[in-house]
Amino acid sequence: MSKTPTEPQRIALNGPTMGTRWSALFYAPPGYDPGALAIALQDAVAEIDDQMSTWKPDSALMRFNTAPVGDWVVLPAHLLRVLELGLRIGRASGGAFDIGMGDAVRAWGFGPEAASAEAIRSALTRARPPAHEVLDLAPERGEVRKRAPLSLDLNGIAKGYGVDRLAEVMLDHGITAALVGIDGEMRALGLRPDGAPWSVAVEAPDPARRAPHSILALEDAAVATSGDYRHWVELGSQRLSHTMQPRRGAPVQGGPASVSVVARSCAEADAWATALMVLGPEEGARVARREGLDALFLLRDPDTEVRVGPLFGAVDT
């Protein structure tokens, strides 16, 4: 009589979302049918994209962007959570992370439209109070209002939140050990079947090729990387990063090549990676230590890096 296989089967799922792809890797008992789970995962990230996309004119975010100043607007729960987290990290980072950069993102060509010289001049010269100073949230009513003209953009946090939603769906389906991600933003649940942590590569900031700089071992943690080597626009002879410097209304210049952050949730890691890119290695490392973050700053010199936190082997004093 043949034996029934007992070894867990490795299952890898993926699908389109937010202009890229989501992924989920886990192990299940022999014969497990992942069909319902795959549908639930796709539905979860589609919901986030439908609420938070700046490329969809009818998204909840874009409807709020066009709402009059002073009007309370009812928004869906996931969008409210992301706004609340974005404002909290905006305050904690001293405005380095600012969800109110939608006009600048579009002006420099990182939205649906091409870069516009007139829009760039406006982004550079307009008074720009940070979003955490002019956006009011009433979570108990599910409402938000802006007290000054404001265009929200969540590209620095929405993918991370989407990864967290993937993790929540896995847990809802009884899967407590998995690795999920969107476009390199990753979150690990539990351990692999052999008791080892999940291995996640930190990419070397090289626009010409994809290669790992280092490998992280993650258990119940998330990692996100912000850099200038994958998403940019060229204006004349300049290659400009998609990360915006809120105080200038323009792309970050002279910053690190990339910053990777490990945090409890992927939304937090995503937002903090953006904030630390803006702050730079010196101020960013100080803020990362204060916030208890593990962070890796990779600088232009391939042999130069700044490490914060024990996960990256830093010995902080």
pLDDT 10s digits, 175-221: 999 999 999 899 999 999 999 999 999 987 776 677 778 899 999 99
pLDDT in tens, 27-62: 999 999 999 999 999 999 999 999 999 999 999 999
Nearest residue to 229 via CA among 277, 266, 262: 277
Backbone angles phi, psi at 116, to 5 degrees: -130, 125
- Structure letter (DSSP) for residue 196: P
Backbone angles phi, psi at 50, to 5 degrees: -65, -30
First to last CA, the chain: 63
pTM over 0.85: yes
Instruction: Using pLDDT thresholds of 50, 70 and 90, give the confidence band for residue 303.
Output: low
Give residue 241's identity as a one-letter amino acid code: S
With 0-12 / 13-18 / 19 or more C-beta atoms within 10 angstroms meaning exposed / middle / buried, residue 38 is middle
Residue 169 and residue 40 in contact, taking contact as beta carbons nearer than 8 Å? yes
Report the distance separating Cα 136 and Cα 144, nearest Å: 6
Does residue 1 surpass a pLDDT of 60? no
Does residue 232 surpass a pLDDT of 60? no
